[in-house]
Amino acid sequence: MTRPRSFARRVAIAVGVAAGALCMTLLPFKTASARQAADNMPQTPRPPAPGASASVDSARAVKGATLQAVIYTYGPGPEVFERFGHIALALVDAQTGQDIAFNWGMFDFNQPNFLTRFLTGDTKYWMEGYRTADFNALYQGQDRTIRKQVLNLTPVQRGALYDFVAWFSREENKYYRYDYYNDNCSTRVRDALDWALGGALRPALDRVDGHHTWRDETARITADNLPVYVGIELALGRNADKHLTRWQLAFLPDYLADDLARTPVAGTSLVLQDSVLYRSQSLSVADRAPNRTMPALAIGVLLGVLAFVLARVAPVGLTALGMIWYSVGGVLGTALLLAGTVTKHIPYMGSNLNLTLVSPLLLFAAMFWLWRTRADARGRAGRALPVITAGIAVVGLVVMHIPGVAQGSMMLFMTMVPVHVVLAVVANRRASVSAAPRT
């Protein structure tokens, strides 16, 4: 017969295991990858940039003399994937009357393996052109704000944009791997303008202005959809908390439109005319990300109190609560671990301290939770695993206060750490252990 481990000893073991578990969550991941560039490599060479060929620029000046370049920005829509807004680059030919809006936001739910591609970060998007009047009517019909900006470009630059969208419209060039933050419909327009301006736009926007992060901007936009908001808070790792430059903030169409309006390039304003064609009557997003830390703490305390009460008056209810808590946490943790290590979401979901709250280890805790009151080996495991998971969560909470390592998901820690700790305590109450013989 072996002497059972004391609660204090289990806590010491939990801290040791926690240190090892944190190794993966603290590994740095780059926010961009060479694989991203390789995925988006067109099949044919891009047209020569303005200034690269005098003869090409001469032809472009003739073509561009009758063109007008316009940016249309569309406000948020009702669906989750529409909340971030949209943008299109339109070219208007005064000679032919042709007015086409080119947008890089096309995708198809019915394309082969769409769900798998979406979950692994390998979604295929493409560029398509539409008659601008029809395109605007579609968004106005959805009650989405429409902003129009006529660009102040030279004939050569306008002709270059025409060559660029003509090249990108070709079947072999128009597809690309969509990236939520680094390569989307808005950054594609930004990059096209930067190319036409000879690379002058990026230096003008490559500065940090205020406190903007991928996490905060995403939280701000999804604040009114609590399940999506919480899911994104869980999914994003530490890289999502880095301060963004204005260039990086252009992943949101509204920010790009604002910066084009107020940022001169080579001493010249980029926008000749700026107007709102239609203003939404009902759709909007918050001005800043909400701070839900204290409400989250209140929820965590209430759940902890519930676990204490159930332990005293309804052990079956405590068993159900523990099974649900550890099973759901284990499934979420497994998905989060895979997303942050083997998918193309690594730049945003890797290096994630939330793995100290949810992890595959919780599946084992759920498995042995039913036997926690036994005095045999399975019972000891059922009591030790909650202590270990609670220890990992507490260490994660401590790390959250270390500058340079912390991430902006404190809301989740405020809710989950109290519950982890209470479940560890009630699982190890002496009165809960039966006198069943050890094996």
Assign 253 a pLDDT band (cuts: 50, 70, 90). very high
Question: What pTM, to 2 d.p., does this model score?
Answer: 0.86
- Reference 124, options 170, 179, 164, 166; nearest CA is 179
Q: Could you tell me what percent of the chain has a pLDDT over 70?
A: 88
Q: Which two tokens stand for residue 218?
A: 């995403």
> Which whole-number Å values give the CA distances from 377 to 173, 317, 382, in the listed order?
61, 24, 9
Please tell me the distance from the alpha carbon of residue 297 to that of residue 317, in angstroms, as a whole number: 22
Please tell me the distance from the alpha carbon of residue 54 to that of residue 252, in angstroms, as a whole number: 35
Judge contact between 153 and 69, C-beta under 8 A. yes
Nearby residues of 181 by Cβ (< 8 Å), 6 or more positions away: 214, 248, 251, 348
Judge contact between 361 and 385, C-beta under 8 A. yes
* Average pLDDT score over residue span 359-370: 94
The predicted structure's pLDDT at residue 186: 97
Please tell me the distance from the alpha carbon of residue 386 to that of residue 388, in angstroms, as a whole number: 5
pLDDT tops 80 at residue 363: yes
pLDDT tops 90 at residue 284: no
